[in-house]
Amino acid sequence: MNDAEDSVAERKMQFLFALRSKGVTNPTVLTAMERIDRGPFVKGLFADRAYEDTPLPIACGQTISQPSVVGLMTQALEVSPRDKVLEVGTGSGYQAAILSLLARRIYTVDRHKRLVREARTVFESMDLVNITAFTSDGSFGLPDQAPFDRIIVTAAAEDPPGPLLAQLKIGGIMVLPVGQSDTVQSLIRVRRTETGFDYDEIRPVRFVPLIEGIARDN
């Protein structure tokens, strides 16, 4: 192994250690996060920080979440290989890429055309053929593809959006941040039962707000 390979291997070990130390312990999730390189999803000035456990700016005023939060959200989602998953908030595409190794089918939506376009390019370069990315208003979900086994939302709403709850299968799980401001948010897990919804709180987080409508960018 040469010096460059040593450096990559060491960086990967540090990356996985950081995930474990923050509570990401599911072996399947850790394996997926080891296989999906975060590097291609971080561009420009911040590319050399791709392997730090920190959120980083991406285009359209959005962020790529810190890996440990991605791991905790993925772990809380309890994805199985037969699941059909909806992600609201494609962003860089990093979260969808990890989910693509765990589930049968991923549908991901974002209100920014540019982010969807760039994410598709990365998915194609990684040969992730089970992801379909759309530009659409994520607060309404994807009624044409519903119901979903799992739903993950990577932007914060005051409460879980009604259309998304309605598109969750009975027995399904949704993981999302909720909160009335960008300073007080909680990551929660919602399970749909025969009689309603059960909620549990995972940890405090900070996410960009969930905004209705399609963004006016290219």
Instruction: Name the catalytic one among 7, 21, 65, 125.
Output: 65
Cα–Cα distances in Å, from 9 out to 3, 17, 34, 49? 10, 12, 11, 16
CA dihedral 109, 114, 118, 123 (to 10 degrees): 20
* Rounded-to-integer distance, Cα 72 and Cα 75, Å: 5
Which is it for the CA torsion 52, 37, 44, 115, positive or negative?
Answer: negative
Q: Which of 165, 171, 169, 143 is nearest to 153 (CA)?
A: 165
Annotation says 65 is catalytic: yes
Tell me the C-alpha distance between 50 and 88, whole Å.
22
Which positions are annotated as active-site residues?
A: 65
